[in-house]
Structure 1
Amino acid sequence: MRASILALLRDRPMHGYEMIQEIAERSGGAWKPSPGSVYPTLQLLEDEGLIASESEGGKKLFALTEAGRAAAEEGPEAPWEEASRGVDWEALGEVRQAGFGLMQAFGQVWNTGTKEQREKALAVVNEARKKLYLILADEH
């Protein structure tokens, strides 16, 4: 988390939420850190004198200090670069679309279907999960 924040702030000052969104975008969605990991790290970096914050419209805007800029230049590669390396973005989009479509259909049955229809839908999803694992076991 530390290397990511320093790398982002090398580009420009940002708010915490903006950093979360930027990491998700730069990693192609492969990594989206939680506020529970970002904000404590920001506080730690500020305590160490590597970043400084100022209030801007009820939000804190974070920027590198001189020491922070030096640490960012010397530090490790930003983790999102590795997280997104070798990802087949087209296939990932297809997988997301298929998963989203499945969950949307399941949700409709669950919200509007009868008890019997819900049980059937649950059985279909469980059977699909088993079949996917069988593909890995090469026992289809």
Structure 2
Amino acid sequence: MSPVFSHGDLRLYLLNLLDEGPRHGYDIMQALADRTGGTYTPSAGTIYPRLAKLEEEGLVSKSIDGRKTVYAITEAGHAEVVARAGELEGIEAGLTDSVRLIADEVRGSVREAMKSLRADLAAAGRTERESAPRPAPEDDPRVHSREQVQRADAAVNEFRARVRSDVRTHVARGGELAASVVDELVGELDRVARDITRALRS
């Protein structure tokens, strides 16, 4: 997966967020997630050490507000933000590109999963037709149909579990799940359902 922040950019971006106003740690993490469209959700283990480093450098100060630690930019921190305004514009442009690339990766994964599902269903259908023994006259076709229903259920459940796992893992790792990706998934599923309905009626 493409990185959201290049080396050193997160430090400057944290200063930029604090230049907008004091924030506590969770608010900073939420702001990063919001600004990156959900493609980057940093952990406390990523953010707090960097804030501590900025405090050591005299660029950030902290105070206690009830149960929360609030971080604020110092004059020196503000001066660095002003001096590096051009770099911040580049970071913002890079974030836009990163979000677009990650969204493309998710859409590609969904398309590949749908292709794989259609190929698996087609292969299973061919194998079944080629290998299924001719039923004896005394065989009950309803028993055979119930077995195929179970196979279809298993295939659908396996696909659901695989896509659900891939999507949840992607989002849990800070990835964005764009509405267009879900729309594409819904559209592909609808097309597969129509194909199956036509096959059943033929």
Aligned to 1:56: 65
1:77 paired to 2:88: yes
* Cα distance, 1:123 vs structure 2: 6.1
Q: Percent identity between the aligned chains? A: 32
Match of 2:32 among 23, 33, 42: 23
Higher relative contact order (CA 8 A, sep 6+): 2
Q: TM-score of the superposition, structure 2-length normalised?
A: 0.44
User: Structure 1: which 5+ residue stretches go unaligned?
Assistant: 99-115, 130-140
The 8 Å contact of residues 28 and 84 in structure 1, kept in 2 or not, is answered as: no
Distance 1:42 1:85 in 2: 26
For structure 2, the residue ranges without an aligned partner over 5 or more in a row are 1-9, 111-150, 167-202
TM-score, L = length of structure 1: 0.61
TM-align CA RMSD? 3.4
**Alignment size in residue pairs:** 107
Instruction: State which structure, 1 or 2, has the greater radius of gyration over its C-alpha atoms.
Output: 2
Shift of 1:84: 2.4
Structure 1 residues 71-122: Cα deviation after superposition (integer angstroms, max 9, x where no partner):
122233174552224856xx78x96xx8xxxxxxxxxxxxxxxxx8996433
Deviations along 1:35-88, one digit per CA (max 9) or x if unpaired, are 111000000000111000000011111111111111122233174552224856
Q: How many Å separate the matches in 2 of 1:118 and 1:48?
A: 60
Check conservation: 2:22, 2:71, Cα contact below 8 A.
yes
How has the CA–CA distance of structure 1 residues 65 and 85 changed in structure 2, closer, same or farther, with 3 Å as cutoff? same
Q: What are the residue-to-residue correspondences of 1:50-129 with 2, within 5 Å?
A: 50-75=59-84, 76-77=87-88, 79=91, 81-85=93-97, 120=155, 121-122=157-158, 125=162
Shift of 1:16: 1.0
